[in-house]
Amino acid sequence: MSQSFDDISAQLKRRHRQSTHLKWVSMGALGLAGLFLVLFFADMLVKGLPAFQQAQIQVQVDYSEQARQLPLAALNEEVRPLVSRGYLRLIPRRIQENPQLLGTTRMEWVLADSQVDQYLKGHHSKLKPGEQSVVERLQAQGRAELKFNTTFFTNGDSKMPELAGIASAAMGTLLTLVVTLAIAFPIGVMTAVYLEEFAADNRLTQAIEININNLAAIPSILFGLLGLAIFINFFGVPRSSPLVGGLTLALMTLPVIIIATRTALRSVPESIRHAAFGVGCSRWQVVRDHVLPLALPGIMTGSIIGMAQAMGETAPLIIVGMVAFIPDVTNSFTEAATVLPAQIFTWAGEPDRAFVEKTSGGILVLLAVLITLNATAVVLRKKFERRW
């Protein structure tokens, strides 16, 4: 078969064009993945940033004898529906704590109802037209404003969106992670040290290795089933508590820490060990005084990443009951608590439109913490990474 020079050069052109196509298509795929990321963050920011602002209105509060019995009486009729019921409820207590307030009338900035908040942010709101005009008038007088939302960071969960905050969930996350770290870190590092430095390469060691890789790939919800059946039903650990949540997450984080620690130990060159053995160190002395200190940055990096993973985990915690409604900040390991992702999950299920904003706000806080953790891990690795 003979082909003319033109045929071959046309064929060559086509082949090179195909090659370029592949390059562009694959580049497009990477771009698409990046686009997803950008869209996702943009969406979360647009939805969540308003949560850090909350409407407040300046109203005349009349601390009268009547208001002590009936808080509504402290406000004039016009602004009553605009003020958060959570604020009204506190008026009698404030009078009780501060008796000289009684009989005075003050202008105060108070938390507005979430509908006012939604209205001021330009969202759909259930305010009646009359109430809307009141809000507009207040706004024109500078008596209705969006201010930085401190309630969001100091309050626990609430059924009233304007009072709902992440404080109790943040505390729950902290307690749970303390338990997780206290269990997963020592056991993980010890397991890795045993497998890398002590164990002979026998059946048992291989079984443990295969097992660890499998554990890392088991769906997280199954750890929840384990926590429910073993920790709660069998050992009687209190349900919904940071203790049971932390234990469950610890088992889940264990493989991550083990694998990271093994990699870190493996990257310490043999010559260090030989030198230490050479001057008469025992195996444990070699590990404790030479190998572990050199591997420590790697171990820390792996543990931080593992903790970040545990922090974002929800499914197993739902199974062990950590989706409770927790209005007050508790700092006990055995009382019911909730964690940030679970709080996000609870809020996402609320029908009230104002909670969408709270949910996104909570997500932004969670993402900020996770990104900080991961960035710390990366910086740590960059700073202490040693090439031998």
Show contacts with other proteins in window 187-206 (CB under 8 A): 187, 190-191, 193-195, 198-199
DSSP 112-163: BPHHHHHHHTTS-----HHHHHHHHHHHHTT-EEEEE-SHHHH----SSGGG
Helix 340-348 and helix 167-193, axial crossing angle in degrees, nearest 10: 130
Q: Any contact of residue 90 with other proteins (CB under 8 A)?
A: no
Applying CB under 8 A, the span of 105-113, 116-124, 168-176, 353-361 interacting with other proteins comes to: 353-361
Whole-number minimum distance, CB 58 to other proteins, in Å? 33
The two structure tokens encoding residue 186 = 């020592």
Q: In this chain, which stretch among 98-106, 124-132, 167-175, 232-240 interacts with other proteins, using CB under 8 A?
A: 232-240
Minimal distance, residue 294 CB to other proteins, in Å: 18
Q: How far is the CB of 129 from other proteins (least distance, A)?
A: 28
Shorter beta-carbon distance to other proteins: residue 190 or 275: 190
Contact letters for other proteins, residues 109-148 (x by CB under 8 A): ----------------------------------------
- Member of 40, 109, 148, 325 binding other proteins (CB under 8 A): 40
Residue 101 vs 296, nearer CB to other proteins: 296
Cβ nearer to other proteins, comparing 175 with 252: 252
Query: What residues numbered 156-175 form the site for other proteins, per CB under 8 A?
Result: none
Burial profile 106-121: b = 16 or more Cβ within 10 angstroms, e = fewer = eeeebbbbbbbbbbbb
Nearer CB in complex with other proteins: 114/191 = 191
CA distance 98 to 51: 32
Closest CA to 265 of 273, 254, 276, 255: 273
Q: Among residues 7, 9, 10, 43, which is the contact residue for other proteins, using CB under 8 A? A: 43
CA distance 229 to 221: 13
CA–CA distance, 276 with 200 (Å, rounded to integer) = 20
Number of residues located near other proteins, criterion CB under 8 A: 88
276-295 residues near other proteins, rule: CB under 8 A = 282-284
> Of 62 and 197, which CB lies nearer to other proteins in the complex structure?
197
Cβ 180 vs Cβ 250: under 8 Å? yes
The phi, psi pair for 88, rounded to 5°, reads -55, -40
Q: Which of 102, 178, 378, 379 binds other proteins (CB under 8 A)?
A: 378
**Between 119 and 223, whose beta carbon lies closer to other proteins?**
223
Q: Which is nearer to other proteins, 47 or 273 (CB)?
A: 47
Q: In terms of C-beta density within 10 A (0-12 exposed, 13-18 middle, 19 or more buried), how is residue 315 classed?
A: middle
Neighbouring CB atoms inside 10 A of 198's CB total 12
Indicate the burial class of 62 (C-beta count within 10 angstroms; 0-12, 13-18, 19 or more): middle
Contact criterion met (CB below 8 Å) for 194 and 234: no
Among 10, 98, 182, 219, indicate the residue that binds other proteins (CB under 8 A): 219
Query: In the window 20-39, what residues touch other proteins (CB under 8 A)?
Result: 20-23, 25-30, 32-34, 36-37
Distance from C-alpha of 191 to C-alpha of 209, rounded to nearest angstrom: 10
Q: How far is the CB of 249 from other proteins (least distance, A)?
A: 12
**In this chain, which of 212, 249, 256, 365 binds other proteins, going by CB under 8 A?**
212
**Minimum distance from residue 272 beta carbon to other proteins (Å):** 19
CB of 236 to other proteins, least distance (A): 8
Q: Is the Cα dihedral 358, 364, 370, 372 positive or negative?
A: negative
* Least CB distance to other proteins at residue 44 (A): 7
Short-list 354, 359, 351, CA closest to 54: 354
Q: Which of residues 315-344 bind other proteins (CB under 8 A)?
A: 315, 318-319, 323, 341-342, 344
The pair of three-digit structure tokens given for residue 111, joined into one six-digit string: 């938390």
